[in-house]
Amino acid sequence: MDLNPTDIVIHIINIFVLYILLRLVLYKPINKFLRARAQGIEKNLSDAEHARTEAEEYKASYEAHVQNAEKEAHEAALVTAQKADLSAAETIDAAKRDAEKILAETREQAQTERKESIDALKGQIADMSIELASEILGREVSEADNRGTIDAFFAEKARS
């Protein structure tokens, strides 16, 4: 194996020419392809980040709506409970008023019946007193005299 200096120079020139041709033919298209791919990856990453940001915003908005809906439901429940309490209080008040009215009417009716009973008994007692006095005295006592005396007696008893 002999090393010939011209062969070495020719090989060096061939390598250099091959390098320049490969660089012109392959390096620029590969480099262009790699740059385009890197830009595509960056664009995809940017789109993914944008989509993630939008998803987080939607999630935050959804959670805010859920909290707002829960708050509104809670407030509606409180309002309903307050209305029910108010309605119950009004019903109880109405029932108390009705009961007091019925009680007052009953008392008034009892007073009226008592007065009517007393008046009826006065008449019966007066009649019995007149008969008893007639029998005891053996004479006829006028009914007008007895009625006046009995009325005066009952009026005096009513005042005391």
CA distance 32 to 34: 5
CA distance 18 to 10: 12
CA distance 159 to 15: 150
Q: Indicate the pTM of the whole model.
A: 0.41
Evaluate whether 147 touches 127 at the Cβ level (below 8 Å): no
Evaluate whether 152 touches 126 at the Cβ level (below 8 Å): no
**Mean pLDDT, the chain, integer:** 86
| pLDDT score, position 120 | 81
Q: Read off the pLDDT of residues 65-76 as tens digits, 9 standing for 90 and up.
A: 999 999 999 999
CA distance 151 to 134: 18
The token pair at 138 is 């053996």
Report the number of secondary-structure helices (H) and strands (E) in the chain.
3, 0
CA distance 154 to 122: 8
CA distance 17 to 22: 8
Q: Read off the pLDDT of residues 121-154 as tens digits, 9 standing for 90 and up.
A: 877 777 777 766 665 665 555 777 777 777 777 7
